[in-house]
Structure 1
Amino acid sequence: MSDELPAHRIKRLHMRSMRRGIKEMDLILSAYAGQALVGMSDADLSLYDRMLDENDHDLYLWVSGQADAPAEFQPLIADIRSRLASAKTG
């Protein structure tokens, strides 16, 4: 989708974040998307888009720290976890 406008891409990714398979990931990823997507580079948005293709149960295990994410997603998962922790304490 190289011809996709940045605003449309962010909106599409935000919608994909909200409509997952399990409610926990809907909540986690929609909150993250609302905070982070606008400030992401094109490469970061592409990585996030690829991560959204992953299975929800795997994503939940990664975000909750119950399993290690693949190396490609580790920085992104760490950012999600960090923002989630900040939201809980802030």
Structure 2
Amino acid sequence: MSEEKIAVIARVTGRVQGVSFRAWTQAEAQRRGLTGWVRNETDGSVTTLLCGPKYHVELMIELLHDGPKGAWVSGITTDTVQLPEECARFEIKR
């Protein structure tokens, strides 16, 4: 029996741009077998779509609270969304 797959959009606020947050998120997500994307927002936040087994998505959300060295996370909001069909890999969006 396979584990339930979910998709979550997370918005991370704080000092999360200019500290390699997107590259770190991509590497950590891929390490856990997750797919989706990550992008910078014009307001200085970072948004990511995390798709995969529920346990690994939830673990990745916990990791986002710390982020990479140099980041300072002041908050994270999450929203569970319908699992998109096109979620085949993890990419950094510009």
| TM score, norm. by length of structure 2 | 0.35
Which protein has the bigger strand share? 2
Which protein has the bigger helix share? 1
- Which one has more relative contact order, counting CA pairs under 8 Å at least 6 apart? 2
